[in-house]
Amino acid sequence: MPPSQTEAAAGSSPFQRLLHYSHLFASVVHGSLEERCLRQATPLPLTIQQVNLLRLIDHRGTHHVGDMADLLGVSQPAASKNVDKLVRLKLVNREVLETDRRSLSLSLTEEGRALIRRYEKAKEAKLQQAVGELSPADLEQLTTALAHVSYQILKGENTRGNCNRCNAYYTEACPMRALAIGCSYLKTR
């Protein structure tokens, strides 16, 4: 059931409600959308972080382990361990580059690409079901509002280094680029 006017009448400020529903939205997207759709897409014991690594590998082929660790927000040993697991599960092909032994050429196997397609299809179907009652204009307005609020919150922060807040959901039209935040996904495009 959508929020009611009684909540506003109960004395919570619009900002408290915004924080409440922002946290609720983030939790629902992570738990109900991403986790459930991952379980629907594969029986393999994968984490959302590992799926994001698959998406990153699909986006960029050659990697330094340190760069992958930075993108995922983990240590270099953790990034290496995740790559090892994806190779063992036959989702990723790995090859050390002769020109730079610190770099790996990583590519998705056909099963890795198929898993990503199933996962993205499951998420899109669940999202379409969730927002089916919204008009295209309302959906666009919601998307624009989320981008605008994110931009406004980050506007006053120290924006040095790479953003990586999209968590492998890279888009050319990312509003964070206007803040001159570095984008790891943009570097190799």
pLDDT tens for 11-20 read 688 989 988 9
Task: Give me the mean pLDDT over the 94-120 stretch.
Answer: 86
**Secondary structure, 3-state, the chain:** CCCCHHHHHCCCCHHHHHHHHHHHHHHHHHHHHHHHHHHHHCCCCCCHHHHHHHHHHHHCCEEEHHHHHHHHCCCHHHHHHHHHHHHHCCCEEEEECCCCCCEEEEEECHHHHHHHHHHHHHHHHHHHHHCCCCCHHHHHHHHHHHHHHHHHHHHCCCCCCECCCCCCCCCCCCHHHHHCCECCCCCCC
Per-residue confidence at 189, pLDDT binned at 50, 70, 90?
A: very low
Of residues 157, 154, 162, the one with CA closest to residue 66: 162
Percent of the chain past pLDDT 70, that is, above it, reads 72
**What is residue 188's predicted lDDT score, i.e. its pLDDT?**
45
CATH 1.10.10.10 in the chain, residue ranges: 37-130
Residues 78 and 47: their CA atoms lie apart, in Å, by: 13
**What is residue 136's predicted lDDT score, i.e. its pLDDT?**
92
**What is residue 179's predicted lDDT score, i.e. its pLDDT?**
62
**Average pLDDT of the chain?**
80
Task: Give me the mean pLDDT over the 142-156 stretch.
Answer: 82
Percent of the chain past pLDDT 90, that is, above it, reads 33
Beta bridge partners of 107: 93
**What is residue 138's predicted lDDT score, i.e. its pLDDT?**
93
Cα 116 to Cα 46, 105, 123, 136, distances in angstroms = 12, 19, 11, 26
Per-residue confidence at 106, pLDDT binned at 50, 70, 90?
A: confident
**What is residue 75's predicted lDDT score, i.e. its pLDDT?**
87
Q: Quick: pLDDT tens for 29-48.
A: 888 899 999 999 999 999 99
Who has greater pLDDT, 55 or 176? 55
Q: Quick: pLDDT tens for 162-185.
A: 566 666 666 667 766 666 555 655
Q: Which of 67-71, 101-105, 165-169 has the lowest mean pLDDT?
A: 165-169
CATH number of this structure's domain 37-130? 1.10.10.10
